[in-house]
């Protein structure tokens, strides 16, 4: 993957669903970038104001499980609360798990600009260290 910055994300062409890529110097920042990439596939959050703070922990797991768990949590809260993250901070819990925090807003406060993801696909899921830090790629079912 060619990168223009040390930390970032993008959507890439995919036939039927949505595919995102993210990269950062470390695992936790890469996962936070994946959350931002997911949200940007369907919502314009520019100008949105935070209405709530969310914090949760993911149990210990391998990197793929943690990525899927984090993105699944975004989709779950979108479906059940109509909330989506404006920013995300991910930290290791020291036992192989993660703690995620984000400021969120209501879907009513943003413009929906694409198909809302329904699930994270395990097909061609990739996350891990690379030559310049960490990167991940995931397909979202819409």
DSSP states of 4-37: SSSSEEEEE--SSSEEEEEEESSHHHHHHHHHHH
Task: Determine the topology of domain 8-141 in CATH.
Answer: Archease, Possible Chaperone; Chain: A; domain 1 (3.55.10)
Q: 28, 141 in Cβ contact below 8 A? A: no
pLDDT more than 70, % of the chain: 95
CA angle in degrees (0–180, nearest 5) for 77-80-86: 30
Indicate whether 76 pLDDT > 60: yes
Listed by start position, the domains of the chain span 8-141
Per-chain mean pLDDT for the chain = 93
Q: 91, 98 in Cβ contact below 8 A? A: yes
Burial degree of 134 (CB within 10 A; 0-12, 13-18, 19+): buried
Q: Each residue of 97-126: pLDDT tens digit?
A: 999 999 999 999 999 998 899 999 999 999
- Which stretches within the chain are classed as H helix? 27-40, 63-81
CA distance 120 to 55: 21
The reported pLDDT for the residue numbered 79 is 95
Indicate whether 2 pLDDT > 70: no
Q: Each residue of 21-60: pLDDT tens digit?
A: 999 999 999 999 999 999 999 999 999 999 999 999 999 9
């Amino acid at each position: 993957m060619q990168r223009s910055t040390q930390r970032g994300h993008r959507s890439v062409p995919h036939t039927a669903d949505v595919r995102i890529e993210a990269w950062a110097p470390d695992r936790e920042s890469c996962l936070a970038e994946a959350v931002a990439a997911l949200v940007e596939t369907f919502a314009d959050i520019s100008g949105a104001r935070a209405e709530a703070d969310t914090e949760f922990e993911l149990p210990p797991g391998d990197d793929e499980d943690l990525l899927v768990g984090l993105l699944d949590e975004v989709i779950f809260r979108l479906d059940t609360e109509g909330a989506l993250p404006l920013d995300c901070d991910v930290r290791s819990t020291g036992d192989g798990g993660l703690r995620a925090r984000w400021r969120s807003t209501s879907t009513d406060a943003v413009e929906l600009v694409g198909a809302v993801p329904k699930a994270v696909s395990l097909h061609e899921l990739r996350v891990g260290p690379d030559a310049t830090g960490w990167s991940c790629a995931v397909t979202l079912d819409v």
